[in-house]
Each structure stands twice: as structure tokens, then as C-alpha cells.
Amino acid sequence: MPDPNKLTVPDHPILDCLSQRYSPYAYEPKPIEPDKLRALLEAARWSASSFNEQPWRFVLATRDDETAWQAALGCLVEANQQWAQHAGALILTLAKTNFTYNDAPNRVAIHDVGLAAGNLSAQATALGLHVHQMAGIDGDAVRSTYDVPEGFEPVTAIAIGYAADAEPDDKPRTRKPLSEWVFGGTFGQTHPLV
Ligand SMILES: Cc1cc2nc3c(=O)[nH]c(=O)nc-3n(C[C@H](O)[C@H](O)[C@H](O)COP(=O)(O)O)c2cc1C
């Protein structure tokens, strides 16, 4: 059961799979059904991307595969290993840094990896799962563990699992109001819509 304290009431109505999402530190010790994992990956697959480059690459490890699990955990910083070891699956994300069609740098490669992660996250919430993304990874460990070729950059890790109801982090979830970051006219001037 997700922790009810982590759910929010948005200021404006949004999809349940967005309002029910949060990043758990506590997980039920339950494996994730392979069909659900495939659905999450399929959601990422259908993300939009600049020039349809699809610059995302994922390394997936599930906790039932001990060798793969330890390899993936070893790519996280210690603080993230502490809680992520209880998740059901881990994904390490990487970005292809240059476009395939002309080999020029793809300025939005990491953006598009994030978009794929966002779609995966919404699909996960819709299926009763939660994800917790991490910048806290050891990029060199990712490169050496998985023999990553030139032209690909480690970006994040994503823990996936069934959220437990007892979250150790009881801080309320907060967000800036729309008026702080939706501008019109000049930068910093709140758009009248919000
Ligand atoms: C790209 C990215 C990197 C993050 N890195 C970490 C991390 O290394 N460790 C961690 O505990 N949480 C990490 N988080 C989780 C954020 O702290 C969390 O999303 C934020 O506090 C908002 O909380 P919420 O996701 O529950 O709404 C990361 C989130 C994102 C999107």
C-alpha cells in the first residue's frame, strides 16, 4: 500500500497516475510481474524524442537475478544503495550523446532520456507501482560494469517497486506554485493565466 501521507491534492485536476506518484524510500518485498515491467518499458519506448532519435538506453536488473542485482546496486552511490536494495527492479539509464543521422551533438539527449523515464513513471503509477529516480550514481562504475561504448553517457538510475505504507521520510511533498515559474511577457513576470 502506498503511504497516504505522500499523496497530494493538486491545485488543478490532473491524471491519477500523476497525482498518485511519489518517490518511495520503502518498498514491499514483492517481485514485479514481468508483464508489468514490459509495460513500463513499452511506455518509455513510445516517448517522443528529437528527430525520433530515441537516445535512451536502459540496463535492467531484477532482484530475483542476484548477480545482475548486485551489479546494478554497485553502480549507485552508497546513500541510494541503502534504500534501493529493497526495490523490485533497477534500471540504469544512458543517453546516446550524438545524433545517428549526422553525428552532431544531440543537445536534448538527456532531456529525451528524462521524458522516457517520465512516461515509464506514469505507466508504473497506473499499474500500482512506484519509481524513484536517482542522479546519485557512479558513472565510471556504470561504464566499467556494463562495458559502455564511446558515445553513451550514464544519466540516472530508476528504482521500481511496490511502495510500502511506512515511509521513513515523513516530510510533506511540496511544489512551487505555478505563479513562480509560468511567465508571460518577460522572464520572471507571472503569466495572467495562473
Ligand atoms: C533526475 C532525478 C534525480 C534524483 N536523484 C535522487 C537521488 O540520487 N537520491 C534520492 O534519494 N532521490 C533522488 N531523486 C528524487 C527526488 O528527490 C524527488 O523526486 C523529489 O524530492 C520530489 O519528490 P517526489 O518524487 O516524491 O514528488 C531524484 C529525482 C530525479 C527526477
Domain of 125 in residue numbering reads as 4-180
Is 192 inside any structural domain? no
What residues contact residue 99 under an 8 Å CB cut-off, 6+ apart? Answer: 51, 53, 105, 106
pLDDT tens readout for residues 156-170: 999 999 999 888 878
Is 26:86 a contact under the CB 8 Å cutoff?
Answer: yes
71 in a domain, yes or no?
A: yes
Pocket around ligand 1: residues whose beta carbon is below 6 Å from it?
22-23, 80, 133-136, 156, 173
Q: Whose CA is nearest to atom 5 of ligand 1?
A: 134
The answer to the question of residue 34 being in a domain is yes
Pocket test for ligand 1, best of 73, 132, 167 (most atoms within 8 A of CB): 132
Cα dist from 142 to 3, 176, 186, whole Å: 32, 34, 42
Q: Is residue 189 part of a domain?
A: no
Query: pLDDT tens for residues 176-185?
Result: 999 999 999 9
Whether residue 17 is contained in a domain is answered as yes
The reported pTM is: 0.97
Per-residue pLDDT band for 171 (boundaries 50, 70, 90) equals confident
Of the pLDDT bands very low, low, confident and very high (cuts 50, 70, 90), residue 54 is: very high
What is the number of structural domains in the chain? 1
CATH number at residue 67: 3.40.109.10
Of 7, 21, 23, which is best to mutate to test ligand 1, by the most ligand atoms within 8 angstroms of its C-beta? 23
| pLDDT for res 168 | 87
Distance 104 CA to ligand 1 centre (A): 30
Around 141, how many Cα atoms within 13 Å sit in the side-chain half-sphere? 15
Assigned domain for 88 exists: yes
Give domain status of residue 191, yes or no.
no
Q: Whose CA is nearest to atom 27 of ligand 1?
A: 22
Please tell me the predicted confidence (pLDDT) of residue 21.
Answer: 96
